[in-house]
Structure formats: C-alpha cells, structure tokens
C-alpha cells in the first residue's frame, strides 16, 4: 500500500462518529463486490466504494469499526474478508 493511502487510512480511523456528517458516509448496503474479480481488485473496489472502511452507514446507523491490538492491519483483515466472498 502506498504511503499516501496509509496516511489517508490513519486519518479515516480518527473520524468521530458523533460529529461526522452521516449523509456523507456510504451506506454499506450499497456496496457491490464482484466475487469473480481477483482478490486485490475486490479489495481495491471495496475501498473505492466504501470510501472510509472505518466509518460508514448501515441504513440510518453510523458504524465505526476498530480492531484489537494486534499485528494484523486493516488491509490484512479486509483481504481476508474479501477472499471469503464468493
């Protein structure tokens, strides 16, 4: 992952769900992933569509995700998740 993308992900992680413009967030129900694409393309397509993988909407609910203190990165987790989508 490029340095600029890493910085952007770090900034996205810091979004405050109490002050974020919920209308600017992507509704995850609108994200469509083509399971026939190679894993890397599925990952990139997910990021392109969701815009902020740490903070998004599901209907009217704002969702913010975080991970346990581990060596696994968001990219690792998303790659694992997208590899299981068929």
pLDDT tens for residues 17-32?
999 999 999 999 999 9
Q: What is the pLDDT of residues 24-73, one digit of tens each?
A: 999 999 999 999 999 999 989 999 999 999 999 999 999 998 867 788 88
- The secondary structure of residue 51, as a DSSP letter, is S
The pTM of this model reads 0.69
Alpha carbon 70 to chain centroid, angstroms: 18
Query: What are phi and psi for residue 6, nearest 5 degrees?
Result: -65, -40
Counting Cα atoms < 13 Å in the Cβ hemisphere of 40 gives 1
| Token pair for 77 | 């987790």
Q: Which class for 12: exposed (0-12), middle (13-18), buried (19 or more C-beta within 10 A)?
A: middle
């Amino acid at each position: 992952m490029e340095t600029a993308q890493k910085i952007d992900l770090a900034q996205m992680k810091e979004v405050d769900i109490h002050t974020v413009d919920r209308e600017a967030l992507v509704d995850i129900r609108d994200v469509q992933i083509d399971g026939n694409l190679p894993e890397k393309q599925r990952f990139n397509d997910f990021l392109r569509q969701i815009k902020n993988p740490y903070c998004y909407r599901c209907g009217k609910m704002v969702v913010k995700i975080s991970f346990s203190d581990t060596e696994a990165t968001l990219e690792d987790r998303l790659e694992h998740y997208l590899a299981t989508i068929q």
